[in-house]
A = this chain, B = another copy of it.
Amino acid sequence: MAEPVDQACPINPVVDLVFSRWTTPILWVLEHHGRLRFNELQRLVPSITPKVLTQRVRQLERDGMIVRTYHAEIPPRVEYEISDLGRTLVPVFDTLVGWSEAHLPQVAAARRAYDAAREEEEAWAKG
């Protein structure tokens, strides 16, 4: 048999990078709304906490996916926008959305069939 592919699996790095929880909605919002301040971003991704949003935005800035601009005004103003590198993910997201539109109904049907089969087994086991 072949060698373990666990470490070599070429999907892992991109999954860890792109699909950390919350990174996709943040990039999605920035792609569709342009440059935003932190509070605007927060309003557009409301179920994320400010603490986690701060962490994720910093991570995405470090990864080169978003650009943070600091305006030395009073009070200071900070804005975020998607970078050219971040924008290269847009076709990847489109591929995912396309898959989703084509196949999520099949997933829902598979779940219903699985759950129904389990219920039937349980009913049978109870006599």
- Point out residues on A near B: beta carbons under 8 Å: 1-2, 4-6, 9-15, 17-19, 24-25, 28-29, 32-33, 40, 43-48, 61-65, 85, 88-89, 91-93, 95-97, 99-104, 106-107, 109-111, 113-115
Contact = CB atoms under 8 A, between A and B. Distances in A.
A62 B114 CA distance: 6
This protein's copies in its complex: 2
A28 B11 contact: yes
B1 A40 contact: yes
B85 A106 contact: yes
A9 to B, nearest CB: 5
A99 to B, nearest CB: 5
Contacts of A64: 106-107, 109-111, 113-114
19 contacts: A2-B44, A5-B28, A6-B45, A6-B47, A10-B100, A12-B25, A14-B96, A15-B96, A17-B104, A63-B107, A64-B107, A64-B110, A64-B111, A64-B113, A64-B114, A85-B106, A85-B107, A89-B99, A92-B95
